[in-house]
Amino acid sequence: MSAEDYLNGQIILIDKPLHWTSFQAVNKMKYALINKTGLPKKFKIGHAGTLDPLASGLLLVCTGKFTKRIAELQGQAKEYTGTFYIGATTPSYDLETEIDETFETSHIDEVLIHETAKQFLGEIDQKPPIFSAIKKDGIRLYEHARAGETVEIATRKTTVHEFEITRIALPEVDFRVVCSKGTYIRSLAYDFGKAMNSGSHLIVLRRTKIGNYEVTDALDLTLFEQSLVQKL
């Protein structure tokens, strides 16, 4: 593919690795494209939906004229798979922070888990995690959290189209979720535990689909770079 192809617009499917930010992944791609195809340093490139560093999976990267499609792509339904850890919570609702509270789990069985999942189908009110990039009073929530500040976070409407429990091996519960833009799976993990009169946090998360785009069709960053070398 030529530099002109990327300037005219491409949607590139990337399988973002764990521990990388979405920005780091896009930045690596940007400089690979500049170095291998001769694109100008200021060419447009961006992703259609952030994935946390502790999540892996599908990242849609738009180049050139297709960066105008980012908002459209962000609005599509997303599918995730992952694992909840039942019986404990963390301030970040995932593994970014240490466990801060433990809960009773002896009352939790497979019937309760499946029945609880049904409660989260459809439109729900969800409160974003305090460790998130949403801004409150011009400051990102995670900055308030790291400063030890308590802030009031408003709930927001979101929609869970599908919520399937795929494995139960307590304290771990695997799931598959299809949801609307703006859904926090970390918050779903926290609320799921609370709904069972216990606690829960997210320990594994992978984005598998965005609209009709699937992670099975995505390249990892190394293969993407190699594909550029092969086309020189």
Which residues belong to the active site?
A: 52
What does the alpha-carbon distance between residue 194 and residue 213 come to, in Å, rounded to a whole number?
33
Q: Is 206 helix (H, G, I), strand (E, B) or coil?
A: strand
Rg, C-alpha atoms of the chain: 19
Q: Is 157 helix (H, G, I), strand (E, B) or coil?
A: strand
Q: Please, what sign has the CA dihedral across residues 89, 175, 166, 123?
A: positive
Please list, in sequence order, all residues whose beta carbon lies within 8 angstroms of the beta carbon of residue 74, skipping any fewer than 6 positions away.
48, 49, 181
What does the alpha-carbon distance between residue 161 and residue 122 come to, in Å, rounded to a whole number?
6
Q: Is 188 helix (H, G, I), strand (E, B) or coil?
A: helix
